[in-house]
Amino acid sequence: MGLIVQKFGGSSVANAERVNHVAEIITNTYKAGNQVVVVLSAQGDTTDDLIEKANEINPKASKREMDMLLSTGEQISVALMAMAIGRMGFPVVSLTGWQVGMETSSHYGNARIKKVSGTRIQEELDRNKIVLVCGFQGVNKYDDVTTLGRGGSDTTAVALAVALKADLCQIYTDVDGVYTADPRVIKNARKLDEITHDEMLELATLGAKVLHNRSVEMAKTYNMNLEVLSSFTGKPGTIVKEDAKLEKTHVSGVACDKNIARIALVGLQDKPGIAYRIFSMLAKEKINVDIILQSIGRGNTKDISFTVEKDNLAEAARILEEKKHLIGFDHMNTTDTISKVSIVGAGMANNSGVAALMFEALYEANINIHMISTSEIKVSVLIDEEDSEKAMQVVHDKFFNIMQ
Ligand code: ADP
Ligand code: ASP
Ligand code: MG
Ligand 1: residue whose CA is nearest its atom 10: 210
47, 50, 104, 158, best to mutate for ligand 2 pocket (most atoms within 8 Å of CB): 47
User: Helical H runs in 14-152?
Assistant: 16-31, 46-57, 63-87, 119-126
Residue 402 contacts residue 248 (beta carbons within 8 Å): no
Backbone angles phi, psi at 366, to 5 degrees: 60, 40
Task: Determine the pLDDT at residue 350.
Answer: 77
Ligand 2: residue whose CA is nearest its atom 9: 150
Say yes or no: CB of residue 47 within 6 Å of ligand 2. Answer: yes
Q: How far apart are the first and last CA of the chain?
A: 39
pLDDT of residue 286 exceeding 90: no
Q: Which residue has the higher pLDDT, 352 or 366?
A: 366
Say yes or no: CB of residue 11 within 6 Å of ligand 1. Answer: yes
Using a 10 angstrom Cβ sphere, with 0-12 exposed, 13-18 middle and 19 or more buried, the burial of residue 384 is middle
78, 153, 154, 172, best to mutate for ligand 2 pocket (most atoms within 8 Å of CB): 153
Task: Determine the pLDDT at residue 402.
Answer: 56
Gyration radius (Cα) of the chain, Å:
23
Residue of 234, 221, 307 whose CA lies nearest to 264: 307
pLDDT of residue 403 exceeding 50: no
Rounded to whole angstroms, how far apart are CA atoms 304 and 266? 7
Residue of 204, 192, 206 whose CA lies nearest to 341: 206
Residues 42-88 pLDDT 10s = 999 999 999 999 999 999 999 999 999 999 999 999 999 999 999 99
Residues 10-37 pLDDT 10s = 999 999 999 999 999 999 999 999 999 9
| CA 46 to ligand 2 center in whole angstroms | 9
Residue of 169, 112, 171, 165 whose CA lies nearest to 138: 112
Ramachandran sector of residue 283 (left: φ over 0; alpha: ψ -120 to 50; beta: rest): alpha
Task: Give just the sign of the alpha carbon dihedral 308, 310, 315, 321.
Answer: positive
| Bridge partners, residue 298, by sequence | 301
Residue 127 contacts residue 15 (beta carbons within 8 Å): no
Residues 123-176 pLDDT 10s = 999 999 999 999 999 999 999 999 999 999 999 999 999 999 999 999 999 999
Ligand 2: residue whose CA is nearest its atom 5: 151
| CA 212 to ligand 3 center in whole angstroms | 6
DSSP string across 330-399: SEEEEEEEEEEEEEE-GGGTT-THHHHHHHHHHHHTTPPP-EEEEETTEEEEEEEGGGHHHHHHHHHHHH
Ligand 2: residue whose CA is nearest its atom 6: 151
Q: Which residue has the higher pLDDT, 348 or 89?
A: 89
Residues 190-223 pLDDT 10s = 999 999 999 999 999 999 999 999 999 999 999 9
Q: What is the mean pLDDT of residues 249-271?
A: 94
Residues 235-245 pLDDT 10s = 999 999 999 88
Residue of 272, 337, 333 whose CA lies nearest to 306: 333
The set of long-range contacts for 27-32, using a CB threshold of 8 Å and a minimum separation of 24, is 27/85, 27/88, 27/90, 27/130, 29/4, 30/90, 30/130, 32/1
Chain mean pLDDT for the chain: 95
Say yes or no: CB of residue 253 within 6 Å of ligand 1. Answer: yes
pLDDT of residue 310 exceeding 90: yes
35 CB contacts (<8 Å, ≥6 apart)?
2, 3, 4, 125
Task: Determine the pLDDT at residue 404.
Answer: 45
Rounded to whole angstroms, how far apart are CA atoms 68 and 145? 6
Task: Determine the pLDDT at residue 309.
Answer: 95
Residues 92-104 pLDDT 10s = 999 999 999 999 9
| CA 155 to ligand 3 center in whole angstroms | 10
> Between β-strands 289-294 and 301-309, what pairing exists: parallel, antiparallel or unpaired?
antiparallel
Task: Determine the pLDDT at residue 14.
Answer: 98
Q: What is the mean pLDDT of residues 310-337?
A: 94
| CA 154 to ligand 3 center in whole angstroms | 7
| CA 38 to ligand 1 center in whole angstroms | 19
Say yes or no: CB of residue 136 within 6 Å of ligand 2. Answer: yes
